[in-house]
Amino acid sequence: AMCVNDIAAQGAEPLFFLDYIACGKNDPALLEQVVSGVADGCVQAGAGLIGGETAEMPGMYAEDEYDLAGFAVGVAERSAIVDGSGITEGDVLIGLPSSGVHSNGFSLVRKALFEQAGYTVDTTLDELDGKTLGEVLLEPTRIYVKALKPLFQAGVVKGVAHITGGGFIENIPRMIPDGLATRIELGSWPVPPIFDVIERAGNVEHTEMFNIFNMGVGMVLAVAADRADEAMALLSGNDEPAYRIGAVVRKTVDDVELA
């Protein structure tokens, strides 16, 4: 998901993915589940799973441990690459919701929930609608390739920020030209309850949460104000939820402002 989302954030189309699985002991049933999940993600991204490598290393990993890595290749016409260079003051920011924590911040997740709060993966909390912490934390990262494609084809997107490690504060400025910044309107999108649970359990400052997690927004798009309605309509027409979460402003501070 992280590989193909990074490709999509540049206006490119993922072509294929290759995986690498390292383990302490080759467990065919387990590896079948892992590869099946990778294949499902490739279907969502419209990419092919064309190969991979499995390494059994009992001296490196315990019998019940495995490690995953992989990479994707994508393609775009040079003239169609979305690099944020055309972003101007007054452009609208549109947020596409995440499916949860996605794939970053888990060192803090473990420390806050399991070490400090004493929860386990089987803990259920009222805020999580009857799901266990394990179920919520292992919700697959959302893949945005198909959601973004119609917007790229229509030429309405000026810039894309994939909200990974570093959250809002580190990722959004990467697509913004010098001299500009973004003003984010808190409360303009629903924040999944798992983030409130993490913030409370770990006694994390609210602003710091935006410097670590996606806080319910996995992709942020910059579009011209006069095409924002068009972009929202394209997303709605494909049953893709989206929220207007802010705007591009003239830079007055070094970081993203949280209003």
Q: What is the domain extent for residue 160?
A: 92-258
The mean of the pLDDT values for the chain is 95
- Quick: pLDDT tens for 1-26: 999 999 999 999 999 999 999 999 99
Q: What pTM does this model have?
A: 0.93
For 248, counting Cβ atoms within 10 Å of its Cβ (0-12 exposed, 13-18 middle, 19+ buried), the class is buried
77: Cβ contacts below 8 Å, ≥ 6 apart: none
From residue 126, give the alpha-carbon distance in Å to each of 110, 123, 131, 132, 197. Answer: 20, 10, 9, 10, 10
Number of domains in the chain: 2
Q: What is the CATH number of the domain that holds 65?
A: 3.30.1330.10
What is the predicted pLDDT for the residue at 253?
A: 59
Residues 133 and 248 in one domain: yes
Residues 31 and 122 in one domain: no
Residue that has been written with the tokens 């983030």 in this structure: 195
- Quick: pLDDT tens for 224-247: 999 999 999 999 999 999 999 999
